[in-house]
Amino acid sequence: MKLTRGAFMTYLDASFGADETYEWYLVGKDIEEMSTELNPDVETVKNILDETSVNDKGYEPSLKADPFYANPEDPLYPKLRDIAMGRLKCDDCKTTILELIVEDTKSSGHKAFIEDVYVKPTSIGGDTSGVSIPFTVYYAGNRKEGTVALANKVPTFTPKENA
């Protein structure tokens, strides 16, 4: 049986590192389609001897969350508002992303990764649907593998030993 889209969950730390604990916000409300674009950076060159060489430089992943409707009750909203309205940059936009995939709903631990990211609103305003602050997430490295236990969609991340 194939996995439903809901099996792949993306959370952002809405505290933006304000303290030692994560305040996970599940991204996806009001969004009908969202994917992490891996943006592989691969170059192939064929020489005059008909030999092909590959230069694999890795990935430059990003994620677009559009729309994100401004809701003062959402824990992510105040920081997105401040970044957009204050034109903040650098570490003021840095937080952590948690990605997990639920392959077996009966399992108590799901494969997951956390990574440093920068969250950058792409606009603020929108149409009559409401104030929208769509944003793009840029992955910044420091990726760590682990597992997540879920309780009512609230994750608890445990890093993989020796990771």
User: In angstroms, rounded to a whole number, what is the distance separating the alpha carbons of residues 124 and 133?
Assistant: 5
Q: How many CB atoms lie within 10 A of CB 95?
A: 23
Q: In terms of DSSP H, where are the helices of the chain?
A: 77-86
DSSP 160: P
- Average pLDDT value for residue range 10-22: 92
Q: What is the pLDDT confidence band of residue 19, given thresholds at 50, 70 and 90? A: confident
Two tokens at 13?
């730390």
User: In angstroms, rounded to a whole number, what is the distance separating the alpha carbons of residues 13 and 98?
Assistant: 8
- Average pLDDT value for residue range 26-39: 95
Nearest to 38, CA basis, from 61, 68, 12: 61
Confidence (pTM): 0.92
Give 116-152 pLDDT, tens digit per residue: 999 999 999 999 999 999 999 999 999 999 999 999 9
Give 72-112 pLDDT, tens digit per residue: 999 999 999 999 999 999 999 999 999 999 999 888 899 99
- pLDDT for 88 equals 97
pLDDT > 70 fraction of the chain, expressed in percent and rounded:
99
Q: Which helix (H) or strand (E) holds 41?
A: strand 40-46
Contact 116, 141 (CB under 8 A): yes
User: In angstroms, rounded to a whole number, what is the distance separating the alpha carbons of residues 65 and 136?
Assistant: 6
- pLDDT for 105 equals 85
